[in-house]
């Protein structure tokens, strides 16, 4: 564990050194700012007026979209696991969402919705199929021996769900959340950039591109990565706590 | 308690005939032990009795609607406590204190708060047996319930089963003649039936 951490830290330092080397070689900040310049920008960016409101704007909308996807993904996967007709009826939507490029959805949403709803909807749209498919897979992979036991003992659907399916979907749900949070952030910010949503992180990225502020672009990117990782860890932590509570029932 | 009558039971899995024209009667309210080598159809017979398999021909009469089954595998929800695992099948018909007292009686009193995944194989076995007993069915089927347990523990569990299934029909598969003797009741050799 400790050794692996040392190896990973070494790899990160090597990547940063490579980045520094390339930026020195290019020697044009508008093309590639050096890591040192990005760190310097990060040290000042959070003190600027409007930083907190910009972060909160995107954070709340992306989290909201993810939470809706989480709730709806779980509910519909449970229903699809119980009634195969639900799975069949949802199949075309899930396949479409998975295969249509996110940019197409963003442009469609710009026509249909207001800018305020765009981020929420895109984050939802990208996270939903991941959560739905994973949870459904978890339900389908429930131990047939346990299900046979439950059938023999005439266990109600509710208790089967709690004692057999819920523990079984745990690894699927946690892995889905880890992936879906990152995807929701990527798609959500992309939507903000394309839609130039006022007061969002995406707008900051757009402005950085317009004004050739490469250090700003990379500093905001670092902030997005940090937010995404923190939110992912937080959700996984909350899920594990919920599971601990359920297991004590 | 009515007898369970098995008449001319035949079951094939592909080319293999596992049960061939098996006929016997399990006396209601008594313990019947079935012995026989592996693969002679003991588990298949139990599964047909419990309605988990369908016979190809023959009939089974007198099986009560509610059947308890201790499977060869423990079939427990590993993340939950022993009490929760039992409540899975009993619902809230039994108070928690009753379930705990049964688990204590069978030597699990110190580990009630733990999830079952932290239990040893023998402890899990006992939970599965208490679950089968507390389900309160008129017929309790047990498929090699004492496999892998030491002699003292086997006797504790057999005493427990006998105590709480008095006047109920119990069918128990075992490889050990000693277990069948200790359980009492009728001993049937599957090889004699399935020729």
Question: For A203-246, how does the pLDDT look when each residue is reduced to its tens digit (9 = 90+)?
Answer: 999 999 999 899 999 999 999 999 999 999 999 999 999 988 88
A210-to-A42, A56, A169, B186 alpha-carbon distances in Å? 19, 23, 45, 90
Whole-number pLDDT of residue A2: 76
Interface probe with B: pick from A154, A161, A163, most Cβ of B within 10 Å: A163
User: Which is nearest to A80 in space by CA: A30, A142, A136, A118?
Assistant: A136
**B75–A167: do the CB atoms touch at under 8 Å?**
no
Per residue, the 3-state secondary structure of chain B, as one string, reads CCCEEEEEEEEEECCEEEEEEEEEEECCCCEEEEECCCCCCHHHHHHHHCCCCCCCEEEEECCCCCEEEECCCCCCCCCCEHHHHHHHHHCCCCCHHHHHHHHHHCCCHHHCCCEHHHCCHHHHHHHHHHHHHHCCCCEEEEECCCCCCCHHHHHHHHHHHHHHCCCCEEEEECCCHHHHHHHCCEEEEHHHHCC
Whole-number pLDDT of residue B195: 67
**A152–B50: do the CB atoms touch at under 8 Å?**
yes
A87-114 burial string, b = 16+ CB within 10 Å, else e? beebeeebeebeeeebeebbeebbeeee
* Residues of A with Cβ-Cβ distance to B99 under 8 angstroms: none
ipTM, interface predicted TM-score of the complex: 0.92
Eight-class DSSP state of A123: H
Whole-number pLDDT of residue A76: 97
Pairing outcome for strands B4-13 and B16-26: antiparallel
Averaged pLDDT, A115-122: 88
Sequence spans of domains, chain B: 1-66+137-195, 77-136
Q: Which helix (H) or strand (E) holds A202?
A: helix A201-210
* Residues of B with Cβ-Cβ distance to A153 under 8 angstroms: 68-69, 88-89, 135
How far apart are the C-alpha atoms of A73 and A135, rounded to whole Å?
Answer: 8
Residue A248: pLDDT band with limits 50, 70, 90: confident
- Least CB–CB distance from B80: residue in A149, A153, A163: A163
pLDDT at A191 over 80: yes
Averaged pLDDT, A135-164: 94
Q: Which helix (H) or strand (E) holds A53?
A: helix A51-82
Which chain A residue lies closest to B114 (C-alpha atoms)?
Answer: A248
The Cβ of residue B171 has, within 10 Å, a number of other Cβ atoms equal to 26
Q: B155 burial class (0-12, 13-18, 19+ CB within 10 angstroms)?
A: middle
Q: Over the stretch A45-60, which tens digit does the pLDDT of each residue have? A: 999 999 999 999 999 9
pLDDT at A1 over 80: no
User: Which is nearest to A164 in space by CA: A143, A148, A136?
Assistant: A143
Give the residues of chain B that fall short of pLDDT 70: 195
B79 contact partners, CB below 8 Å, separation of at least 6: A167, A170, A243, A247, B115, B116, B117
- Least CB–CB distance from B79: residue in A150, A155, A247: A247
Q: Over the stretch A65-112, which tens digit does the pLDDT of each residue have? A: 999 999 999 999 999 999 999 999 999 999 999 999 999 999 998 888
Whole-number pLDDT of residue A201: 95
A155 contact partners, CB below 8 Å, separation of at least 6: A149, A163, B88, B89
User: Which is nearest to B161 in space by CA: B140, B185, B144, B189?
Assistant: B140
B1-66+137-195 is a CATH 3.40.50.300 domain: yes
- 8 Å CB contact between A138 and A169: yes
Of A152 and A4, the one with more pLDDT: A152
Whole-number pLDDT of residue B135: 95
Interface probe with B: pick from A144, A145, A148, A149, most Cβ of B within 10 Å: A149
Which chain B residue lies closest to A162 (C-alpha atoms)?
Answer: B88
Whole-number pLDDT of residue B174: 86
């Amino acid at each position: 564990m400790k050794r692996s951490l040392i190896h990973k830290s070494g790899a990160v330092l090597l990547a940063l050194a490579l980045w520094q080397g390339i930026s020195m070689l290019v020697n044009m900040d508008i093309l590639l700012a050096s890591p040192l310049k990005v760190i310097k920008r990060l040290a000042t960016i959070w003190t600027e007026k409007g930083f907190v409101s910009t972060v909160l704007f995107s954070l709340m909308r992306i989290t909201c979209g993810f939470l809706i996807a989480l709730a709806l993904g779980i509910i519909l996967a449970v229903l699809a696991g119980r009634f195969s007709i639900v799975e069949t009826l949802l199949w075309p939507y899930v396949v479409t969402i998975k295969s249509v490029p996110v940019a197409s959805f963003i442009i469609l949403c710009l026509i249909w919705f207001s800018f305020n709803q765009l981020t929420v909807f895109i984050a939802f749209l990208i996270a939903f199929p991941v959560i739905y498919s994973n949870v459904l897979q978890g339900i389908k992979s429930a131990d047939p021996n346990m299900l046979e036991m439950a059938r023999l003992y005439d266990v109600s659907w509710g208790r089967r769900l709690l004692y057999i399916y819920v523990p079984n979907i745990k690894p699927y749900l946690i892995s889905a959340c880890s992936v879906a949070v990152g995807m929701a952030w990527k798609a959500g910010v992309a939507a903000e950039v394309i839609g130039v949503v006022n007061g969002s992180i995406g707008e900051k990225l757009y402005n950085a591109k317009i004004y050739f502020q490469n250090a700003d672009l990379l500093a905001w990117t670092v902030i997005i990565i940090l937010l995404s990782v923190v939110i992912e860890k937080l959700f996984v932590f909350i899920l594990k706590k919920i599971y601990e509570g359920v297991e004590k029932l | 308690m009515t007898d369970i009558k098995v008449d001319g039971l035949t079951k094939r899995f592909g080319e293999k005939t596992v049960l061939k024209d098996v006929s016997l009667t399990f006396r209601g309210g008594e313990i019947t032990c079935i012995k026989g080598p592996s693969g002679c159809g003991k588990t298949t017979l139990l599964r047909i009795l419990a309605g988990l398999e369908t016979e190809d021909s023959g009939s089974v009469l007198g099986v009560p609607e509610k059947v308890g089954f201790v499977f060869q595998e423990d079939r427990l929800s590993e993340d939950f406590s022993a009490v929760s695992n039992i409540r899975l099948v009993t619902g809230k018909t039994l108070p928690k204190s009753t379930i705990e007292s049964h688990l204590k009686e069978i030597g699990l009193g110190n580990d009630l708060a733990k999830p079952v995944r932290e239990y040893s194989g023998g402890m899990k076995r006992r939970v599965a047996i208490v679950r089968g007993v507390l389900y309160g069915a008129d017929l309790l089927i047990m498929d090699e319930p004492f496999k892998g347990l030491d002699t003292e523990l086997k006797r504790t569990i057999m005493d427990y089963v006998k105590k709480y299934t008095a006047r109920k029909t119990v069918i128990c598969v075992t490889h050990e003649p000693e277990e069948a003797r200790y359980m009492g009741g009728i001993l049937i050799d599957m090889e004699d039936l399935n020729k």
